[in-house]
Structure 1
């Protein structure tokens, strides 16, 4: 069932929606100036119908991140606090945006940035379509400066299409999703217990509330792979456990619904978690994850031909033990 929208404001081009960009930040000083400037660059005389509030939610940084943000003066609202994780920082930013009466919100990681005017065009499209979520293009950028351009989805996007696409790798990172503020609050906001898979969890969980989703084709978010503090790089037990727990939850919620066709792909992700767990010595987690996938009927061994052959004979755990983690 869709969330009730009785409390939503009726927005028209004559009464433009306000937009908040929440930047959760932990030790991102080398990239933060570029990130903030990419938002400020979209505030011009020809975009005066847009009211953008930038909120930096610092998560206990020990570098110069707060000083960098302070250099922008009143153009950036700064929240500070102890290190409690990116999801806590995002939720703190969300609460601050709600206090300001913000209608739409974007969560922009402190090392990512924008090109063009995706915020402006996404906000305008959200007002026009009365959408719960607007997706924008997201391109990958690597340490050597190379890029992988990614254009995913178009027009109105059904929740099942987005759900299935995400499980196939058509991911839209946080900078590429504009949320209606009361919608993201209504689904429970960000799960602060997670060490990893945070954007996957909230994005897929949102689909069960059947949001109205449209795709914005103007501008792009740039998702960078340059920050050693990035959650994506984390292979610790809490990170692997978070990946497993969130994916298992999606399998359990998808059973018997229109999202059920995506269960095999979710189980493939759980298989990858099991494989990573065995490699890092987290045997109990690996066994639990693999058993769950097998109980769901997943029998594949995704990987190279050598991996498939060896694992089909030895089993995943013993193959990794004997092949020294490969």
Structure 2
């Protein structure tokens, strides 16, 4: 195997991001520590590839049919050879100097995590920033797999992954199109990744009503449920399904069930059944909602629970 290039490869998957891509590229270009920058255009129809070519050599803008963000990121992995990988969405931003700061603490790490800020822009382009968000490090250090399955998440732009870890994981999962980034972080923990903090705000995460989880909540909650079932199977297979992890899965299935009930989706019954088979007492909401949904149907059950203050 040839040696990896020193530094960071920034991979930007792109689908119809013409309004934001230039700003994203400008936040990455010129960063100390940047070794490679590649845009994977995932079948855009708005001229995104042309915008990317204004900033990058033609061979660093890879075009292909629309296959989803996981496939685009995986193509970016294959097109680069740097020791470190950062996956930056085409509407998010890096802060100045962040790659250099992450690399400074990376020697003993498989993944370096920094804080990030959510932001939104008004019609005049003025940005509003949230407070800094980051990882619950005590929970991650106690049980990284459980913490990530439960509540630990940061945007991909705030994570730096060592290539050998990425290759061991096998890339991003196309079967979880909405929450593939959260699952990738879990898979890193499952493969024994050493997470190391870099104490700074390194990324800006754009909040938009057009995000897939907001546009298509059914797909989001189905992904949450599918991810939970897959994690449960992994823990069972490896004999690591502890009582604490069972409780985490119960909470995950309860949240997925609530979301699917709000969407009047039949997946609610799968979430309820998955929770029941774990052997713990189900939440009060699930115990009430399941027989109501069977008797009255999902729409009527949700309406009744909403009237009772239990949406």
Flag whether TM exceeds 0.5 (same fold): yes
Tell me the residue number matched to 2:71: 88
Report if the CA contact (8 A) 1:102-1:181 is conserved. yes
Stretches of 4+ moved more than 6 A in 1?
A: 307-310
Is residue 124 of structure 1 aligned with residue 104 of structure 2?
A: yes
Asked if structure 2 preserves the Cα contact closer than 8 Å seen for 1:115 and 1:221, the reply is yes
CA deviation after TM superposition for structure 1 residue 28, in Å? 1.1
Q: Deviations over 1:84-126 (max 9, x none)?
A: 10000000000001xxx31110111111111232212212322
Stretches of structure 2 lacking an aligned partner (at least 5 in a row)? 123-127
1:56-87 C-alpha deviation (Å, 9 max, x unpaired): 01111111211221111339811111111000
* 2:210 counterpart of 1:224: no
CA RMSD of aligned residues (A): 3.1
Cα distance, 1:198 vs. partner?
A: 0.6
Residues 57-76 of structure 1 mapped to structure 2, 5 A cutoff: 57-74=40-57
Q: Give the structure 2 partner of residue 148 of structure 1.
A: 131
Give 1:109's aligned residue: 89
Alignment partner, residue 210 of structure 1? 192
Unaligned ranges ≥5, structure 1: 1-6, 302-306
Alpha-carbon distance in structure 2 between the residues aligned to 1:136 and 1:258? 29
What is the correspondence of 1:1-326 to structure 2 with a 5 Å cutoff? 17-42=6-31, 47=32, 50-74=33-57, 77-97=60-80, 101-126=81-106, 128-129=107-108, 131-143=109-121, 145-153=128-136, 158=141, 160-226=142-208, 228=210, 230-235=211-216, 237-255=218-236, 256-257=239-240, 261-283=244-266, 285-296=267-278, 297-301=280-284, 311=289, 314=292, 317=298, 319-323=301-305, 326=311
Distance 2:97 2:137 in 1: 17
Superposition deviation, residue 314 in structure 1: 4.7
Measure, in 2, the Cα distance between the counterparts of 1:134 and 1:253: 25
TM-score (structure 2 length as normaliser) = 0.83
Q: Using the alignment, how far apart are the partners of 2:59 and 2:246 within structure 1?
A: 42
Q: How many residues align?
A: 296
Q: Distance in 1 between matches of 2:89 and 2:8?
A: 16
TM-score normalized with structure 1 length: 0.79
